[in-house]
Each structure stands twice: as C-alpha cells, then as structure tokens.
C-alpha cells in the first residue's frame, strides 16, 4: 500500500437518514466504513471482490456493492443499510416474508438479499419466478438453495400488486 493510499479524506454523507461527517482512509471501502466506523454491522464482508452480494447496500437509490465502492466515493451520497431500512419499515413486508418462508438460514447473505429484492420490487409489477431468480443471481446464498428466497420475493410482489396474500 503506497503512502498516498494512507491519506485521509473528509467526507459528508447521509447514512440511514442521519448526517455523517467523517475522516476516512482513502483506501477504505464502504462496507468497512459502515461496519468499523459507524458500527452498522448489517452489511457483511464476504468475498470483497464484488461477486457475492453480501455487502449490498443502497446508495442514492441503487443497490451497490459496498466492497467495490470506496468510502470517499460516498461523499455527498445517501446511503441506506438494512438497519435504516428496518427502522423506517421500508422493507417490513419483505422481512416478514423472509421469516415466514424461512428464506434465510444463517442470515449472512440476508441483508444483501433484501436490498437486491427491494430494488426488483421497486420496479413494480409481478416478476416471474425466473425473473426473480435472474435478478437475485448477483447474491450468493450457500444455505437455502434459493427457492424460499424466490418464494418470499414472489409473495411480496403479489401482495404489493394487490393480488394474492402476503
């Protein structure tokens, strides 16, 4: 790691609706920033390579891999993590469906899964099971075999569309 990399940068952003000012190491990725500096341990580091999706959080309305974004790049951004999405009840129906369908086992992939599912559902309509599967394919789960996750997302899509039961 070069000297320049160890430089610190001041950033100002909103995390879960709260203003945050911080001086961060320029090489720190967003996941480490959220976890180590803000104590938001909902987003997980797993591959730190952009593959598994366990670190997915919402940045300016889009699902982003926290391990692929440097904290300084989040300057001025609006970041939501599973903690904030829980507090505002933004994904309550999804969370309830995940519990009801047992769409999580160890739960390590779950915060990322929820953000990815939120993104799909925000597009409206009722995606087909294959569409759900395609959309969720950026998020690995080694426990569930995925079917229960697809069930949960499908259930919420149907409920939100006013058809079927939650």
Partner 1 sequence: MTIEFGNPDRPNSYIGKTVPRPNAGRLVQGRGRYVDDIVLPRMVHVAFVRSPFAHARITGIDAGEAKSVKGVLRVFTGKDIAEVCTPWVAVLAHLKGLKSPPEYPIAVDRACWVGEPVAAVVATSRAAAEDGSALIDVDYDPLPVVTDMMSALDADTPVLHEDMGDNLAFRRLHEAGDVEAAFKSAHKVVSTRFRTARHTGVTLEPRSILADWNPAEGQLTAYHATQAPHMIQTVLAEHLGVPEGRVRVICGDVGGSYGIKVHVYPDEVATAAIAKIMARPVKFVADRLESFTTDIHARDHEIEARIAVEEDGSITAMDVDDWTAIGAYSVYPRTSAIEGNQVVNLCGGPYDFKNYRAQTTVVFQNKTPTCQYRAVGHPIAVAITEGLVDQAAAELGMDPVEIRRRNMFRDDAYPVTSPANMRFEALSHHASMNKLMDLMDYDGLRAEQAELRKSGIHRGIGIASFIELTNPSPFMYGIGGARISAQDGCTVRMDPDGSLVALSGVTEQGQGTEAMLSQIVAEGVGVSPDKVRVITGDTQVTPYGGGTWASRGAGIGGEAALQSARALRESILTVAAAMLQTEQSRLDIRDGQVVDTATGESRMPLEEIGRIVYFRGDTLPKGLPRELVQTRHFITSDYPFAFTNGVQASYLEVDIETGVVKLLKHWCVEDCGRIINPQLVDEQIRGGIVQGVGGALFEEIHYDGDGQLLNGSMADYLVPMAAEMPDMVVGHVETPTKESLLGAKGAGEAGTAGAPAAVMNAINDALRPRGAQITEMPFTPERILRALGVLKD
Using CB under 8 A as the criterion, which residues of the chain lie in contact with partner 1 when the complex forms? Answer: 1, 6, 25, 27-28, 35, 40-49, 51-52, 54, 81-83, 86, 95, 98-100, 102, 104-111, 114, 129-130, 132-134, 136-137, 139-150
The length of the chain, given as a count of residues: 166
User: Around Cβ 165, how many Cβ atoms within 10 Å?
Assistant: 6
Nearer to ligand FES, 65 or 120 (CB): 65
Residue appearing with tokens 């945050």: 20
20 binds, among ligand FES, partner 1, none (CB under 5 to 8 A by kind): none
Question: Shortest distance, CB of residue 122 to partner 1, whole angstroms?
Answer: 18
Nearer to partner 1, 41 or 76 (CB): 41
Residue pair 61/118 in contact by the 8 Å Cβ criterion: no
Residues contributing to the site for ligand FES (CB under 6 A):
45-55, 65, 67, 104-109, 141-144
Q: d(Cα 33, Cα 14) in Å, to the nearest integer?
A: 13
Nearer to ligand FES, 86 or 105 (CB): 105
25 binds, among ligand FES, partner 1, none (CB under 5 to 8 A by kind): partner 1
Contacts of 18 (CB under 8 A, 6+ apart): none
Nearer to ligand FES, 55 or 82 (CB): 55
Question: Shortest distance, CB of residue 124 to ligand FES, whole angstroms?
Answer: 26
Burial of 51 (0-12, 13-18, 19+ CB in 10 A): middle
In the chain, % helix, strand, coil (3-state, to 5) comes to 40, 15, 40
């Amino acid at each position: 790691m070069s000297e320049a990399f160890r430089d610190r940068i001041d950033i100002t952003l909103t995390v879960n609706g709260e203003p945050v000012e911080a001086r961060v190491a320029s090489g720190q990725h967003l996941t480490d920033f959220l976890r180590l500096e803000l104590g938001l341990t909902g987003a997980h580091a797993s591959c730190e390579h952009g593959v598994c999706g366990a670190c997915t959080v919402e940045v300016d309305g889009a699902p982003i891999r926290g391990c692929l974004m440097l904290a300084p790049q989040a300057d001025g951004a609006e970041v939501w993590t599973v903690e904030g999405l829980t507090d505002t009840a933004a994904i309550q129906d999804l969370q309830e469906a995940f519990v009801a369908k047992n769409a999580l086992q160890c739960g390590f992939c779950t915060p990322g899964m929820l953000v990815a599912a939120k993104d799909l559902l925000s597009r409206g309509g009722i995606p087909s099971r294959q569409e759900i599967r395609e959309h969720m394919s950026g998020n690995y789960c080694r426990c569930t075999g995925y079917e229960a996750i697809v069930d949960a997302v499908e259930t919420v899509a149907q409920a939100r569309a006013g058809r079927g039961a939650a």
